[in-house]
A and B are shown apart, each in its own frame.
Chain A
């Protein structure tokens, strides 16, 4: 029973005061060599330790002061012994102290000197003292007393190589002494749990916690004895300690001491006594947090394995893995009420252990995952976030260890574990997997592996059962899908047939993704395919392959169907771009019908789906730009497509857009590196048409705004005239150029024209350009000679 905090302070102060006062008198007696009085006052001083009023924390303060005083007393005793006083007599004398606690403290103090004098074997004195301490059964007082005994005897144990070792005195005796002290201390410690009323249980447990190191110290000392080698540990120390741990049936003691054993003794010993140590686990109280204990053990062993490669065979020799996994299995079986979180934590620790100790044994890793699956199957899909976090940690461990998803894909139980995650966590894990691949630049090179991978990340690829569509934030969804898009770049095989298999597998999965995912996933798939086509281009087309072998034609068919899927989104602008990319690729493969088909699809989209003016302008840029580069078309096809393109150009909404699109079309009739496409007349027609449109634009501006608008369009057209003039288009005459120059000059200077410095600057630099060309000399200069600026 302990007083309230204030009262405690008072009692402590009183205790200290009393102690100090008696210490003072004791010292006076020592100084005057008055043994009798010294003993009298020291006993009085030690009486303060008889109090029941202090909590362990405060008692400790009192104890420490007494301890310091007793050190001085011990020195005095040593002096006495040196001077010839009989230690045995002293030993006898101190037992006359009235109260048992002071008596025992004094006895231990003399005992220390006794042992040091070597007048009696250490073992005898130690045995006597450890037995006598039984006289104090009060937990706090007893623990401190025995702690004192432990402290003073520490350097006097008959260890191997110590001066106290003798024929009769061996380390066995030291061990026996320590074990006995430990056992008695543990009993006292456990007894505290049951003292006092039930309502103060929490307080008691806190106090017990404060005292635990006193008990654990004995194990530390044991651990440091030279003579406690593996055999001694195995035969004597561990069994005795475990016996006490199990028999005390106290949750707090069991947890602390198991941990102590693991921390204090060398990992090598643990390996060799694994069965014994693990065998104790199921015998512990069910409320003991055994998973933490086992996790600690496995962590230590993992670190031990990591410390040097030489110790690894030892692990194999003692079959550490099977012992540990059996122990865990037993614990989980025994503790039916263990929450999923606990079981997963255990398996997580075991997995970490396995990855450290047996990284090459994928079967072990798979085994651990399998055991986890078994446990999870009894629980169904997980709901609580602690467990799911732990599972993500469990699944991430092999990823981090191997840095190679291909290795992880070999673990058959890996996807099974993922089955038990809720949808959201499944996606989280999928992202972790993708990030691991991207970070390590792992290349996944077969369709089979791709299938396995996509099974793992299926939460990202398509909607899983029970998915709520509005669950996911827009930004998050985008990030997710962009991750998937990036992933595609890592799926690659050098072998074209295998690569085609990969593409088909990916395509199959993507098409189940639904309209929201397609705009993200289809483009990378298309470009992967185009890359493959380009690769095949280089190969000999005449190689007669079996049906299965990859060919550009086959891939183009796939592409056509794939891009078509975008219509459900709908994503017309994107689809148009992709069709045109394919058309260019078909052009490079000399597949005219295929290229024409792609153009047709693109044109249909333009006509039917692209209504926005700005989008139309860009779409036309792409159409005309692509068409301009096509060399695979025969005259008829080319004409059809060109005619359509120019038609679209003339129908754009805004006049300036029309004008620019039309003069861009002029390039469709003149391709530098193809002699067959040099139709000077059609070029000129385009340019003239552009001029007419520019004029119309001027007039419109006049009517609507009162001023003529800018001359920019005219300058642009002039530049185009010069372009084709230089290329040698006979239809472009100097006269035409000259009149255009004059037109612009007049317009710029006229009052009705709105001031446009940009147009002026443009015109000026165009004229400068003409000058430069004149000065170049040769044929070019000749051409330009007649143009007057």
Chain B
């Protein structure tokens, strides 16, 4: 069982002062094996804080990120799954699931984690899963109204991944979960 935290679009300090305290108290160092961040942290302080939760951190570049060295896209393998990360402002139309699926095919990954819209989404199609963890701080978005703070925790176990989404609604943390199974056949044969 491998725990992967996926979050993004914090927009600290431009649109939010900090993670919600209820989230902060849940995110304790040492419990998570990997962190995936879709981008728009935006400052080094946030980067350092996330790194303190887990040293294996993967970040992609959002359009407001202070650090210009983050990559546009990143791929990594965790267990049996190939994951891809991209902030999402590069995929037009923004939030369009078909276009995101195309990116997924291009990166050749089972799970694509992307952000920008500040709205949680978990979309399954025959090529895999597209996950948007939303905005961890509930930051203002021109695309989505009434953003609730949210993040995602993935539990990768063999060919199965359970996606837990944590959302802060009216001051209470609500959890939901979605199951995905990957078929054993490998996708590309060479």
Contacts and interface: CB of A to CB of B under 8 A. Distances in A.
Interface of A: 438, 478-479, 482-483, 485-487, 489-490, 523-524, 527, 530-531, 534, 577, 581, 584-585, 588, 618, 621-622, 624-626, 628-629, 664, 667, 671-672, 712, 715-716, 719-720, 723, 726, 757-758, 760-762, 764-766, 768-769, 772
A618 B63 contact: yes
A58 B167 CA distance: 74
A214 to B, nearest CB: 56
B45 interface: yes
Given A585-B142, A618-B63, 13 more contacts: A482-B13, A482-B43, A485-B13, A487-B17, A577-B63, A625-B94, A672-B93, A719-B102, A723-B98, A761-B187, A761-B188, A768-B127, A769-B127
A524 B92 contact: no
Nearest to B45: A482
Nearest to A758: B108
Contact of A621 (B90, B108, B142, B188): B90
Contact of A765 (B17, B105, B143, B190): B105
Contact of B105 (A581, A625, A672, A762): A762
Contacts of B164: none
Interface string B1-44: 00000000000111111100000000000000000000000010
Contacts of A760: 188, 190
A625 B108 contact: no
B80 interface: no
B17 A769 contact: no
Contact of A764 (B63, B140, B188): B188
Contact of B13 (A486, A720, A768): A486
Contacts of B176: none
Contact of A625 (B14, B15, B43, B93): B93
Contacts of B18: 438, 486
Nearest to B187: A765
A513 to B, nearest CB: 15
A531 B93 contact: no
A621 B92 contact: yes
Contacts of B190: 757, 760
B105 A719 contact: yes
B52 interface: no
Contact of B92 (A489, A531, A624, A765): A624
B64 interface: yes
Between B14, B99, B142, B190, the greatest number of chain A beta carbons within 10 A of the residue's beta carbon is seen for B14
Nearest to B139: A527
B108 A490 contact: no
B67 to A, nearest CB: 12
Contacts of A588: 142
A217 B93 CA distance: 86
B77 interface: no
B4 to A, nearest CB: 23
B170 interface: no
B37 to A, nearest CB: 18
A460 to B, nearest CB: 14
Between A531, A667, A672, the greatest number of chain B beta carbons within 10 A of the residue's beta carbon is seen for A667
Interface residues of B, number: 32
Contacts of A723: 98-99, 102
A439 B13 CA distance: 15
Contacts of A715: 106
Contact of B93 (A628, A726, A762): A628
Given A530-B140, A762-B108, A486 B93 contact: no
B92 A628 contact: yes
Nearest to B101: A769
A524 B16 CA distance: 8
A622 B17 contact: no
B15 A527 contact: yes
Contacts of A485: 13-14
B24 to A, nearest CB: 13
A766 B102 CA distance: 8
Contact of B12 (A486, A487, A762, A765): A486
Nearest to B44: A478
A576 B18 CA distance: 25
B182 interface: no
A716 B102 contact: yes
Q: Which 9 A-B pairs have the closest CB atoms?
A: A584-B142, A485-B13, A523-B14, A486-B17, A765-B105, A486-B13, A761-B108, A772-B126, A719-B102
A438 B17 contact: yes
A629 B94 contact: yes
Contacts of A719: 102, 105-106
Nearest to A482: B13
B89 interface: yes
B146 to A, nearest CB: 9
Contacts of B63: 577, 618, 621-622
Contacts of A624: 92
B123 interface: no
14 contacts: A478-B43, A479-B45, A482-B43, A489-B17, A618-B89, A621-B92, A622-B63, A625-B89, A625-B92, A626-B142, A628-B92, A719-B105, A760-B188, A765-B187
B145 interface: yes
A517 to B, nearest CB: 13
B127 A534 contact: no
Contact of A769 (B13, B15, B92, B126): B126
Given A482-B43, A524-B13, A585-B142, A766 B90 contact: no
A768 B101 CA distance: 13
Contacts of A769: 101, 105, 126-127
A33 to B, nearest CB: 80
Between A479, A487, A671, A719, the greatest number of chain B beta carbons within 10 A of the residue's beta carbon is seen for A719
A590 B13 CA distance: 29
Contacts of A757: 190
A531 B94 contact: no
A577 B64 contact: yes
B135 to A, nearest CB: 13
Contacts of A534: 140, 145
A765 B93 contact: no
Given A622-B63, A765-B105, A769-B126, A527 B94 contact: no
B188 A765 contact: yes
